[in-house]
Structure formats: structure tokens, C-alpha cells
Structure 1
Amino acid sequence: MIRCAALLFLLVSSPLAAADRADLPVADFEGDTYGDGWKTTGTAFGKGPARGTLPNQMPVSGHLGKGLVNSYLGGDTATGTLTSPEIRIERKYINFLIGGGKHPGKTCINLLVGGKIVRTATGPNDTAGGSEHLDWHTWDVAEFEGKAAVIVIVDDEKGGWGHINVDQIVQSDAKKRAEVLAHTFDIEKPYLHLPVKTGAPVRRVKFVVGKETVREFDIELAPGAPDFWATADVSAFKGKKLTVEALLPADARLAGLIVPADTWANADKVYQEKHRPLFHFTSRVGWLNDPNGLVYANGEWHLFYQHNPFGREWGNMHWGHATSGDLFRWKEHGVALYPKKYGDWAFSGSAVADKENTSGWGTKEKPPLVLAYTSTDRGECIAYSVDNGRTWKEYDKNPVVKHAGRDPKLIWHEKAKHWVMAVYDELGGKQWIAFHTSPDLKEWKFASRIEGFYECPDLFALPVDENPEKIKWVLYAADGKYLLGDFDGTEFKPDFKEKKQLWHGRFYAAQSFDNAPAGAGGLQRRVQIGWAQGVTFPGTPFNQQMAVPVELRLVSAPDGACMTGTPVRELESLRDKKEPLVQLKGLDTNTPSVLAENLDAFEMVCTVGTESPFVLNLRGTKLTYDPTKKTLSCNGVTARVDSRAGSVPLQVLVDRGSVEVFANGGRVAMSVAAIPAENNRKVEFSGHLSSGSVWRLKSAWEK
């Protein structure tokens, strides 16, 4: 009996129960080389593990320790393989961290048994955007236990995301790969708050009502304390059951992680953050880029924009929406345009007021707003609103134009009596702006195209020197370089071949407002807003800002008319007092002289001498003038300024993330990323200053 009991004990306790067996490391890539038996081909993997992020690569995160396999060595064009020595499979699972490109068979990690690929995995990225974050992946290899195997990491892709990242390969009896978890909410409150941790693994989240997926997006979902909360408006599903599905570690819980709420997350603190710009538009939470759908209607300036509501980085492209009565004090309305489905993103476009109701979607008494946007899966699409842009309905015959291109700009051509769509077009390996026409915003016909413009076009007419008898058309694209010419509603004929340039620096994908009201002299204003590309705010819930709104004009010049841009007059409403904080006259100094102190955001208007150099120190950011080259420079941005009579007028705007400079009546405009020094709240000047005024600017977010 004793011997039988001992035998029974051995049967139930040896070998160790699966849950008790320790993990078996395969490779952690912490050494200077890959280790004994590992072999490389090609150039992508180098002689040993990378130490995190490689040159020109987005930040790599999620790996353990300092080292990892990273085939971005030399960029995406490098190729090669990394092969392990033979291992014996002794656990149920093989876990590893993986990131990089999603190109099956080309950027992947393979498990070979008997010389055949029995398991494979790729990174998550196959389109622009994305993240270099590594996440856990698990192979179930129980059927191969006891057999010999080889692991091969492959980089055979030279295009975008043509690399693979791998770390921490481990045999285990516990799987680490995330699984789809679900939790159902009875929607009684209008919002769901989702916790976000910047740098956390990117998780796919679905909102499902009944059997229909109504929202789907990626988010860096925080398993613990979040950096900030994203907000999803679910008021459209009130009274229904909504199931949230998310790819999460098996030990995570959705219940309690995502929170129903009556208000926007941290509504009382938004716009009050330490680094929030005071007079530039930023979204309350999330990423912002191209301005879209700029239109004036019913006393409101409408600003739509490319927006990721669920994170600080580019992705999940929706259209955000805000309105203002004065172009500075904005009220956000949340998401105006949702993607049709995951992967079919709502890219850039424009909006118009269909004042004569040519579309038939409204009435003459209550005409609709109509927008055009690029659906990345379908083509150029149309939507319309009969409630002043608060809600939108898609045209049921979308797409209206299908081609290789994007970013439709709509205008009404008064003389031709039809609508025009100017849209970026790719044909024959070249870059064009194509023009399509329509009588009703529904049926579109190709008219012509002009070569040499890249994405986000704008097209409008302006009088030269405010003379309504002397009209020129302006055509420009994302980089802001423009041509002047004539446009008869079907074809653009430029006056000159070489483009001209107004903006320099952090300025991209600008758009001007449709239907703007008349300004001084009864002429319609042409107001422009651009994306201040790369003006970023680390550690905040929001990212990127719009440039200051400017009014565009055409003025005569020796080489033909040129365009000017000056901050809209509504900016004056933010001046802290009617009189300037400081007023200066006749300053001439070779050493820095303090002009004003204790400043946060401010405006400076001055006239400075150009016979000798000058330096304007704006809270630690220097604006300098070189008289030999006739150039203004600020934070790496340089523009030529032709001075008049030995002096140049300047208007300078400083906010918490940027400096903007307008010279010579707006003939030159500069936008620069610059976070002011915390301990420097002064303006200093050296050189010759004829006159100058400095105003403190109040927050546009003040209630």
C-alpha cells in the first residue's frame, strides 16, 4: 500500500503541472550580438540587436530592457533575415513581443518545424500613421511539443512599414497575447469616457449595437491610471444596448475601465491647462491636422478639421467641428463626420453654403450646408446638413468622383453658374489639381487639370488692390505656394509659371472660408486658416494647433500682383487693454534692451531699421534680421524680406507654442514652433526700432 501511494503521488505531481513549469527564455536580445547560433542575411538586421529607436524612425516602445530586433537599420529599403539556432519545443506556447510592418510573408516572424512554416505573425502596420509599439503575440505550439524548431525573422519589404520589430521570445505554459473582451452598456448617459495612456499598446475597440458595428477605432487604452480621458459621444444610441469590444490582456476587465458619463471628461478643466495656447485653436482632446469644411453660415464661422478623438497622434481620421462668432472664441461640437467603417477614414475636404438650394436637400428659405470629403475606401463623397452643420447625412449615391487622389475643394463659380470641385489628382505618375463641374453637387463631370500641385487645394478669386474691376484667381495647395491666373469655371490659366510664396515654416494644408461676410468697402472677405504643422505640446491631452486666422488680399508688385496675409481684425478683441502695455519710439541700441516683462501671450507691432542687423528676443525665441541677405530668421525658418526705405513693419504674435511673424504689410508670413522658456517672460531688442507697441493678449477660452 505504501508503494502504491508513493506511485500515485508521483503520477499526480511529476512532471510538474503545466501551471507550475517555469518559462524557458529563447532570446531577450540584450547582448551586443544576437548570440550563439543566430545567423543573419542582408543588411536589415545588422551585427546585433538595436538599442531602441534607430535613426529617422518613429519612437519605438513596448520592448523589454534596452535591446530588440529592429530591421529599420538603414530605413525601410533594407532587407534580410535573422535565423535562430535549433530549439526544442517544451511548452504549450511561444510568446514574443512584435511590432512594425504588416506585410504577410515579407515582414514577419516564422516558426519552422521540419523545415516548414507552421506559425507566422506580422506587426500591425500597413498604412500611413501607426505606431512603433511592440505588443505580445502568442503561438499555440502544444501539438509540436518535443519537436525541433527554428525561428526565422524576415524583412523582405522595401515600401512603407517595410521593417519588423521583435523582442523577448519565451516558451511558456501561459499565453500573453491579448484577447477580445466585451462589456454591454445600457446607454442612458450621452458619453463614454475611455482612459488613454500615451505609449501603451494600441488596442482596437468596437461599439456594437445589435449586430451592427457602429464605431471602430484604435486607442492606447490605459489598463491603470490614464494620462487623460477620451470621450465618445453615444447619445445617438440612447435607450439601446451598446456592447464595447476591445482586444485586451486576458486578465483585464472592461467593466469599470470605460465609464458612462453625463458630461465631457474633465469638462471643467479643459482649456485651462498650463500649456494650452491662449488664442490658437486646439481641440480639447486628441490630435488635430488639416482644417476642413471652412464655411460661414447663419452668423457662425464653422471650422471642421482632421481629428483623432482617441489619442494624441495621427490616426482614426474623423472630422472635428467647432464654431465661433469672431474666429477666436471657439465652441466645440464634437465629431461631425464619422468614418463609414474602420479603415475607410474621413480624410480632408471642404464645405459650402448651397444658398440657392441647387442640391434640393434644403429649401430656399433654409438652404443646406454641403461638404465633400475623401473616403479613403470609396473616393470623393458628399454629405449635407439642414441643421447648421450639427448633423450630416451622406448622399446615397456616393462616391461622386472616383480617382487616384483626395481632398476635394468645392466652390460656386458665379459666371459659369455651376459648382466646381478642385481636387488633388494622381495620373500617369504626376501630381495635378483636377477640376470637375456640377449643376447640383450630385452629378459631376471632369473638366480639366493642371500639373504641379500636391494635395489640399484651394481656389478663389480676389480683387487686386481692392479694385472689383481687376479680379484674379488664386490656386494653391498644401505647401501654400500659389499661382495667379484666370479661371472660367472649367480651366485655370496661370499668369506665370513660377509659383509665389506667402507662408514660411509651420504652415500646411490651409483653407479659406466659403461664404464669408463682406468686410470694409463692401468686398467679401477671404479668411484663411492653416494647420501649424509640428506645433506640439508634449505631455498634454491635445496635440497640434491651427495657425492664426488671416485675411488674404492681392496687391500690386513689380513682378505682378502678390498675395498678402494679415491677422484678422478680430484679434484686437483679445488685447488686454485698449491702450498698449508698452509704447516705444526711437530706440537704437547694440545691446539687448528690455521692452516688456511679465508676458504670457502677446502681440507686438513695430517698425524696425534694416540698415543693420536686429534681434528681437521673444521670451527666449530670437527673431533676427540679416541686412546683407535681407532675410528674417526664427527657429530655423528663414524668409527674404525686401525692406522699404531702410525699415520694415512687423506684426509678431507669441503664444504658448508658437511665434508668427507678418512683415511688410503681410507680404511675408512666418509660422514657427516655439515653447517659451518658463523663466523668461521678457521681450528684448537690439538694433534700430523706429516705433513699437506691445499688447498682452487674453485667453480666448475665458468665459
Structure 2
Amino acid sequence: MSRNAVRQDPYRPHVHYTPAANWINDPNGLVYFGGQYHLFYQYNPYSSSHAHMHWGQAVSTDLVHWQERGVALTEGEHQIFSGSAVVDWKNSSGLGDGTSPFLVACYTGHTETHQAQYLASSQDRGETWTLHPDAVLDRGKQDFRDPKVFWHAPSAAWIMTVVHPIEREVELLRSADLHTWTSLSVFGPTGETGGIWEVPDLFPVLDDDGQEHWVLKVDLNPGGPYGGSGVQYWLGDFDGQRFTTRTPSRWVDHGQDFYAAITWHDLPERRVWLSWMSNWQYAHHVPTATEGWRGAMSLPREVGVSVDADGPILVQRPVPELQILRQTLRPLHLGVTSLQVDQAHEFLLNWSAAESFHVRLEFRSEAGIEVSVEVTPEEVVVRRPKTVVTAGLDGYAGEHRAPLPPLGAYDLHLFLDASSLEVFAGGGRAIITDLLFPAQPICEATCTIKGLDHGSFTGALWPLSQADFST
């Protein structure tokens, strides 16, 4: 399908990455190398259904505009399930020629009865790949997958997190060469265990005072906050062998459609991740397949930690690079503001704390209210009603709530696209990501603000230009 034809699709994202055609799910192999952000993902090049898993590929220089490169890792004796990629700077794997750094992917090879971890390498910055035939980690199990590999400088070794899905366990392993792996420890089962565990990630971030916190994140399906799939995390410490928690399990996202997030490897000075924007509860049935595609990625997010009265908490904020898409600013005022909208928009509201306030955004099409967002001192709520388009999607309609701690200042940062809504509130403490399939295109936004003084509030809306997703 040409990109010109793609633009006519009413649900095709304007600022969220999706390939021109076919099925995608989990992001894989996120790595920054050669001045490019590499995005690989689970991809079926033959249809808009989940089958024949390959790794698709796209690259970007700014996390906003993406060039689709087609298939990177091709299905053969096994399907190419999820995994990660690293830069092998010193040829520790022995897979390079010793003259320059190169990319190594570690992925799960999947058959109907067996899963094990394999390597692939690229000497030309991801343009072409060599799949190496022998498994580097094989436990003889049917369910054993999703290796996330990173370099741990204090140990002078590669560390892998990998899941035992049925057992609800994350295993940590160490290697000097990416081939031979030694088990270090096992985390779990703990936290949310209502579904199998998938797609782990382990990484450090600094809070505002410069203290290091390690984040262990793992997905589960089902057992999410509203049924279907979801993402949980813990904050704690990693000593090179074992992860120990300092917080209870919490949800990464309180919406329905954020799954399988992983962080970019070798990205200096910050942590950025994105996710598959869907839910296994209804992913196979979202109303896009008639246009030849199914699945999209969330916006990239910077990940950090804030320390509140109740302790440290994960925060997520949209990457600042997205601001290059902003068009002419349109102000929002106290009281009621109604605006005509189409395509993609960004909203940013800021206000000082008040004893009682109520901020509400409603998005309407000619068919009526398609979704609403409310913020009070205690929580953020997204209400996603059933429509004629989504009547067959079990679990789609409902209220999604994210708690807010007491704060001195509040904000609501929201991205509305053709078929999605991403809500960031409370300095990135409360996150809700929801797919949105309006019965007709959204044409109006109404912002209602009560309980605030004029001097305490600022609000803005930007229409967003179309991000370039080229092939």
C-alpha cells in the first residue's frame, strides 16, 4: 500500500508510528547507533493477523519522523519472537571483524513446542543481518522468552533479563561474550500474577536529587488493571546479581493500550521507551484490517523517578522532540472553551493547587461524545464509551482511573491522534493510554475548568503537523 493511500484511512495515526501495511505488535531491539534510533518490532509481512513473526524495522534521527525499512530478521526454522539489540563496541561476541562496532540482536526463536534465545548480527548499521543458527540459551521449554540485554559496567559484563511466563518469573543472567550465559538470580512470582509474564526490562534512572533507582518492569496477560494485558513495575536496587525491591508493584500505565515497552540501548543521558499501543483482549479485532494494517506504537517517552511523600514513583513524559510538530498555538481559558479540531492535537494545561478543582475535556464527533478526560485533586479519569464501531470489542468501553498524589502544581498533557489518546498528568505520575475508534472523525473539543483562579491557570492547544513515515 502506498503512503498516499495510507493517508486516506480515518484511523491511521498522524504522529504515532505504524508501518504502511500488515500486523505489528511488541517493539524489539531498540538501540541508538550511528546517530539513528533503531526501532524493530514484531511484524507479519503477509497479513494483518498475528502469525509468521519477523522483525520489522524503522529508523529515525529525531524519534518523530520514521523511515520504514521492511523486514530485518526473517522467519525460517522458527519464528522471530521478541528480544533486544545492543552495540558490541569491542567485539566481545566475536561476531565482528574487529575493525568497528556493530549491532547484535538477541531474540526468542519460537516453534509451537519450543522457545530458546538466539543471536543475529549486523555489520552495516542494521541494513542487513546474519542469523546465527545455534541457540545461546536453551532450557528445553515451550515458554521461555523475551531476552532484554544490556551492558553493566560495574560487572564488566552483559546482563540479560528473560521471562519464564507460566511460572511468573524473571531470570537474570550474566555473560562476557553474549554466547555463554550464567544464571544469577530469579525474581518472582510476586506483584500481579493474574496472567503470564512477558517482556521484562531492567534499567537505572536518577531522581531529581541524583539518586539512582533501578526499574524492573514486566508485562502480564491477562490480569491488567481493567482486564486483558497490562504493565507493572518495581523500583529497587541491582547489585550486579540480584534485583531487590523498595516499592510495591505498581501499574506503568492505567489505560488499556500500553504493552511490551522496552528502553533504547546505548542512548546517552536519558532513558526513553515506547510500547505497542494495543491490548491482547481485542488486538485481533480492532477496526483497521480493512485498510490492510493493524497495530501502532505509542509516542516515545522519557522515563524518570520522582520522590513524593509516599516514596519514589516512576514518571513518564513525552519526549521534547515532539514539539517540532506543533503548529499555531491556540489558548484555552477558564470556564468553558469549545474548539474545532481534526487530525492530531496536543493539549497542555498547568495550574496551581486548589482545595477543589475540576478540569474536563470532551471530544466529540457528529455522533456525540467519543471520549472524555477529567482531572480532580485525587485522580485522572478517561471515559471511553462503546460506539457502533467498537460494539464487538470486548473490554473496550469503560472508565480508566489513575491516582494523583497531593501536589503543589498540576498539569495535564494530552495527545489526541486519529485513533488514540495519551494522557500525562501530575508531572508524568499518572498515565493513561487508550486506543480510540470514533464512530465518525472527532471535530470538536470542549474544555471545562472549575475551581481555579485566573492567575493560577494557563492552557494551550496545538494542532500537530503530520509526522513523516516514509518507506
**CA distance, structure 1, for counterparts of residue 458 and residue 156 of structure 2:** 49
1:570 matched to 2:321? The reply is: yes
Please name the residue that 2:251 is paired with: 501
Q: Secondary structure at the match of 2:462?
A: strand
Q: Secondary structure at the match of 2:5?
A: coil
Please name the residue that 1:692 is paired with: 459
**CA distance, structure 2, for counterparts of residue 495 and residue 267 of structure 1:** 47
1:414 matched to 2:163? The reply is: no
What does 1:151-300 correspond to in 2, within 5 Å?
265-266=1-2, 268-271=4-7, 273-300=9-36
Q: Deviations over 1:111-157 (max 9, x none)?
A: xxxxxxxxxxxxxxxxxxxxxxxxxxxxxxxxxxxxxxxxxxxxxxx
What does 1:78-477 correspond to in 2, within 5 Å?
265-266=1-2, 268-271=4-7, 273-341=9-77, 344-363=78-97, 365-377=99-111, 378-404=115-141, 405-426=144-165, 430-452=167-189, 454-465=197-208, 467=210, 470-477=211-218
**Structure number with larger C-alpha Rg:** 1
Is the contact between residue 643 and residue 664 of structure 1 (CA under 8 Å) also seen in structure 2?
Answer: no
1:558 deviates by 1.8
1:486 deviates by 1.4
Q: Please give the root-mean-square deviation of Cα atoms over the aligned residues, in Å.
A: 2.2
1:597 matched to 2:340? The reply is: yes
Is the contact between residue 66 and residue 469 of structure 2 (CA under 8 Å) also seen in structure 1?
Answer: no
Which residue identity is paired with 1:583?
P
Go from structure 1 to structure 2 and tell me whether the alpha carbon gap of 1:333 and 1:679 turns closer, same or farther (over 3 Å shift).
closer
Which residue identity is paired with 2:382?
S
1:560 deviates by 2.1
1:612 deviates by 4.0
Is the contact between residue 347 and residue 375 of structure 1 (CA under 8 Å) also seen in structure 2?
Answer: yes
Go from structure 1 to structure 2 and tell me whether the alpha carbon gap of 1:364 and 1:527 turns closer, same or farther (over 3 Å shift).
farther
Please name the residue that 2:393 is paired with: none
Which residue identity is paired with 1:503?
D
Which residue identity is paired with 1:352?
V
Please name the residue that 1:623 is paired with: 372
Is the contact between residue 32 and residue 265 of structure 2 (CA under 8 Å) also seen in structure 1?
Answer: yes
**CA distance, structure 2, for counterparts of residue 314 and residue 618 of structure 1:** 32
1:638 deviates by 1.6
Q: Secondary structure at the match of 1:313?
A: coil
**CA distance, structure 2, for counterparts of residue 451 and residue 368 of structure 1:** 34
**CA distance, structure 2, for counterparts of residue 702 and residue 307 of structure 1:** 16
Is the contact between residue 613 and residue 624 of structure 1 (CA under 8 Å) also seen in structure 2?
Answer: no
Please name the residue that 2:295 is paired with: 544
Is the contact between residue 437 and residue 446 of structure 1 (CA under 8 Å) also seen in structure 2?
Answer: yes
Q: Deviations over 1:367-392 (max 9, x none)?
A: 11111111113511111111111221
1:365 deviates by 4.5
Q: Secondary structure at the match of 1:561?
A: strand
Higher relative contact order (CA 8 A, sep 6+): 2
**CA distance, structure 2, for counterparts of residue 293 and residue 408 of structure 1:** 10
Which residue identity is paired with 2:464?
L
Is the contact between residue 355 and residue 364 of structure 1 (CA under 8 Å) also seen in structure 2?
Answer: no
**CA distance, structure 2, for counterparts of residue 532 and residue 542 of structure 1:** 14
Q: Deviations over 1:194-225 (max 9, x none)?
A: xxxxxxxxxxxxxxxxxxxxxxxxxxxxxxxx
**CA distance, structure 2, for counterparts of residue 271 and residue 366 of structure 1:** 40
Is the contact between residue 618 and residue 654 of structure 1 (CA under 8 Å) also seen in structure 2?
Answer: no
Q: Where do 5+ consecutive residues of structure 1 fail to align? A: 1-264, 518-523
**CA distance, structure 1, for counterparts of residue 139 and residue 187 of structure 2:** 18
Please name the residue that 1:634 is paired with: 383
Which residue identity is paired with 2:297?
M
Is the contact between residue 172 and residue 241 of structure 2 (CA under 8 Å) also seen in structure 1?
Answer: yes
Is the contact between residue 341 and residue 444 of structure 2 (CA under 8 Å) also seen in structure 1?
Answer: yes
Residue range with higher mean Cα deviation, 387-396 or 611-620: 611-620
Go from structure 1 to structure 2 and tell me whether the alpha carbon gap of 1:288 and 1:679 turns closer, same or farther (over 3 Å shift).
closer
- Residues matched between the structures, number: 417
Residue range with higher mean Cα deviation, 389-398 or 609-618: 609-618
Which residue identity is paired with 2:156?
K
**CA distance, structure 1, for counterparts of residue 374 and residue 4 of structure 2:** 43
Q: Secondary structure at the match of 1:269?
A: helix
Q: Secondary structure at the match of 1:455?
A: strand
**CA distance, structure 1, for counterparts of residue 6 and residue 123 of structure 2:** 30
Go from structure 1 to structure 2 and tell me whether the alpha carbon gap of 1:630 and 1:471 turns closer, same or farther (over 3 Å shift).
closer
Is the contact between residue 610 and residue 627 of structure 1 (CA under 8 Å) also seen in structure 2?
Answer: no
Q: Secondary structure at the match of 1:357?
A: coil
Is the contact between residue 610 and residue 643 of structure 1 (CA under 8 Å) also seen in structure 2?
Answer: no
Give 4+ residue runs of structure 1 displaced > 6 Å after superposition: none
**CA distance, structure 1, for counterparts of residue 267 and residue 377 of structure 2:** 41
Is the contact between residue 73 and residue 131 of structure 2 (CA under 8 Å) also seen in structure 1?
Answer: no
Q: Secondary structure at the match of 2:460?
A: strand
Is the contact between residue 475 and residue 484 of structure 1 (CA under 8 Å) also seen in structure 2?
Answer: yes
Please name the residue that 1:558 is paired with: 309
1:483 deviates by 1.0
**CA distance, structure 1, for counterparts of residue 405 and residue 14 of structure 2:** 32
Residue range with higher mean Cα deviation, 317-326 or 450-459: 450-459
